[in-house]
Chains A and B, each alone.
Chain A
Amino acid sequence: MEIESLEREIHTRVAAAADLDALDRARIYFVGRKGRLTALLKGIGSAPAEDRPRIGAEVNRLKELFGVLYDARRTELTSGSPNPYYVPPVDGTLPASDGHTGHRHVLVRTMEEMCDILRGMGYRLASGPEVELDYYNFQALNFPEEHPSRDLQDTFYITDDILLRTHTSPVQVRFMEEHKPPLKVMCPGRVYRNEAIDQSHAAEFHQIEGLYVDTDVSMADLRNDVQLLIRQLFAPDTDIRFKPHFFPFTEPSVDVDMTCHVCRGSGCAVCGRTGWIEIMGAGMVHPNVFRAVGYDPDKVSGFAFGIGVDRVAMIRHNIGDIRQFLANDFRFLNQF
């Protein structure tokens, strides 16, 4: 009773002591000659005998408690410790800190620009899945099963029939299955190849596929569109040349070279002293591909091309290592 209220009082009076004088008065009040705790101890004789040890212990405890609180408060008052809740004045006229905003990845910008150019030539967007069926990625594109042509592209197989697409060409088949000619589409997207990764080869990279099917589309039309694309992407006086090549889904197939951007055709280390750089592949759609989608190869013809976005970006921005595109290093990404 008295002990409890005394304990509360000790806490309150010590904490409330605003200066050393007040603290001293508290000391005299509790443990001085005529202090409350002192009086309790003196008067212990008048308490019943069995109570005396308990009372004695309690009072001593309070004396100790007082001592500890007194010392702490005294230290506080004399050391002048700062108030943890101190708030300095604020200058509200200063501008706010610049929040981080994102920007478009160099590959995305390159892809967008290439699509813009193609859109100007009449190509419309088509897209397809990255996880693809062997049928669309190979069979419908005239790669026979168990044939060495498949060795040209190392594939990530998920099951025997499901794989990660190795080129954007399957979208040609998907689109043609759903539409009738004439059609002119482009399909940008990511592709996957199970190749050893080095400076110029990544396991994931990006292509844009172009397809134009109509009656009487010829290689001259292909050359025209390819030339326009290359000239707008690189320099307006860039020349291109076609070299015979092989893709199972085009016949004839060509490799397209463009004049070396470094030496402008005179020959240098970059182009192996030939003056030409291989930039993309193209060809006339193979009749078997038309048959797979239900078109009559005698009634329609078409051309297709595929161009690597990473490669174009590397040439335009003088990037030496393809792995940087997906390395997530801001020191690289922030340069664009």
Chain B
Amino acid sequence: MIISLNWLKQYVDIPVDTPTFVHDLTMLGLNVEHCVTTGPDDPRIVVGHVVERESHPNADRLSLCRVDVGDATPIDIVCGAPNVAEGQKVPVARVGAKLPGGLKIRKSKIRGVVSNGMICSQVELGLGNDSAGIMVLDAGLEPGRPFVEVVGQPDAVVEIEVTPNRPDQLSHLGVAREVAALYSTSLRIPAPTINSANVAEPICVTIDDPHDCYRFTGRVVRGIRVGPSPEWLRGALERVGLNSINNVVDIANYVMLELGQPLHAYDMALLPGTTMGVRRGRPGETIRGLDDNEYNVDERHLLITCEDRPVGVAGVIGGMDTRVTESTVDILIESAAFRPRCIRETRKQLRLNTDASYRFERGSDREMCARASARACELILQVAGGSAGEFVDRFPAPWEERRVAVRKSNVRRLLGLTLGTDEMAHLLDRLHFEVVSTQDDTVTVRVPSFRADILEGTDLGGGGTSAWIRPHWTGMVVSGDDLVSSRSIRKLRAIHLRSPGRAGPQ
């Protein structure tokens, strides 16, 4: 799981510097595999406006550009990119600037023409993988503005190892939760508010088997404009390894990485109707997935249907025929929760593996569905316009209250650590395990919906609490290093083997 620290800081304050933070994460159990700082921070990288562009007199593939960087007169820059054009707003690294890769910009002559800087591509700025051409920025930016203001402070991106028992850590909020508990700082959970317009057509939802699908929510957003995503969204996704598709799909991915809830958006004009269903497939049914492959489905697979026709493989991949495109105007956002094993069996059988199925097969937080749907709506209204429509929530299998008792004596027995029940209660509370009662030896807590891995009191010894306490392990000294005899015998045998016939030790 790739986490951007700048993104993470939206939900929690990090009171230590990055190297310390990386160490703390590792010691928490979130093993940091890589840490990369991305993004430029040099003030001499600014927004430029390409006022004029003409072909370089001495080289076919080069352009000579006159670029306004906020000075009295525009500067001359030679550019080799195929996509540079008049009128564009572009990132310009001026003479003296240092790029994230280490390159320092100097005044130079390229094929006989002076160049006073460099127009940059994403790769050169450490912002993405696109090296095909220069980065084109929002037209509204003014020339001379420091690029750092446009794209935000340099970010540190860490890849953490998330173990299969902790699906709650597969999102920025999940990691923020752990961080907040570690440093005893507060957690800021996004709390979207939506003003729904009056309902036009009611959406219907039927769930065949609540054992397979715990919850299905659908939300309508009307009158949107699908297009490229704004820089903050594109940058956030690309920094954590995803490609930007369009503003709607990007928001769905953003919310998945933010809250851990996979979402899917359907183009309502392409849906056969307004009755959504979740059911097993029937022999002979097929569906064309977003990956443009045709899948044969039957009762082994769980499907999302509309007017009983398959429109998606539940929890795995959406359908090609109902996807959001540039011409989409009204969308239906699906935010649902499914039985992990059901999703796993479906996706393995179809030989698929997606970000969505990865989270569902490990167990998603069903209580998060509605909030994630609202959050996506809020952001879509922001980047694509439109108005919020109806919201439907079928929740046949809510999270059942689960209580576990954590015994002080077990903590002592298993961890070798003496903790009082008050201390334990405090720690557990910080981890969102609501304390129900405290007795002599026991603290009883409610397991939150995002910790389905906790089945009994001893489970909390591990992923739960031991990391927090960072106990001072007491050790007992074991004596008796009597290895001499067997070692000597082996040594004799080895010597004997190496010298047949020669007189060995008598």
Contacts and interface: CB of A to CB of B under 8 A. Distances in A.
Tell whether A and B belong to one assembly: yes
A116 B482 CA distance: 9
B416 A218 contact: yes
Contact of B163 (A103, A225, A246): A246
A76 interface: no
A149 B453 CA distance: 12
Given A122-B480, A221-B416, 9 more contacts: A119-B483, A147-B164, A148-B361, A148-B362, A151-B164, A218-B416, A246-B164, A252-B462, A253-B462
Interface string A31-52: 0000000000000000000000
A112 B490 contact: yes
Contacts of B31: 243, 245, 255
A245 to B, nearest CB: 7
Contact of A218 (B164, B341, B413, B481): B413
Interface string B406-420: 000000111111000
A99 interface: yes
B27 interface: yes
B140 interface: no
Contacts of B414: 218-219, 252, 284, 301
A286 B482 CA distance: 32
Contacts of B490: 112, 116
A245 B481 CA distance: 31
A144 to B, nearest CB: 8
B165 A243 contact: no
A102 B475 CA distance: 43
A284 B413 CA distance: 10
A153 to B, nearest CB: 11
Interface string A110-140: 0010001101111000000000000000000
B29 interface: yes
Contacts of B478: 121-122, 224-225, 228
Nearest to A298: B410
The 7 closest A-B pairs by CB, nearest first: A252-B462, A220-B416, A244-B29, A246-B163, A218-B416, A148-B164, A224-B475
B355 to A, nearest CB: 14
Interface residues of A, number: 46
Interface in B233-261: none
The interface size bin for chain B is 35 or more
B506 interface: no
B10 interface: no
B467 A244 contact: yes
A212 to B, nearest CB: 11
Given A147-B164, A251-B459, A101 B498 contact: yes
B487 interface: yes
B288 interface: no
A287 interface: yes
A252 B463 contact: yes
Contacts of B293: none
A91 interface: no
B166 interface: yes
Contacts of B415: 218-220, 252
B344 A146 contact: yes
A249 B198 CA distance: 54
A148 B162 CA distance: 12
A156 to B, nearest CB: 18
Interface string B433-464: 00000000000000000000000101101110
B28 interface: yes
Of A101, A220, A227, A287, most buried by chain B (CB within 10 Å of CB) is A220
A196 interface: no
A151 B412 CA distance: 33
A216 interface: yes
Contacts of A122: 478, 480
Interface in B180-198: none
Contact of B476 (A99, A101, A119, A221): A221
Contacts of B486: 116, 119
Given A219-B414, A252-B463, A117 B483 contact: yes
A301 B482 CA distance: 27
A90 interface: no
Interface in A278-325: 283-284, 286-287, 297, 301
A104 B490 CA distance: 11
B482 A120 contact: yes
30 contacts: A101-B500, A104-B494, A117-B483, A119-B483, A121-B478, A122-B478, A146-B345, A147-B344, A148-B361, A149-B165, A216-B413, A218-B412, A218-B414, A219-B414, A219-B417, A219-B466, A221-B416, A224-B476, A224-B478, A225-B478, A243-B27, A243-B31, A246-B29, A246-B462, A250-B462, A251-B462, A252-B415, A252-B466, A253-B462, A301-B413
Contacts of A297: 458
B103 to A, nearest CB: 24
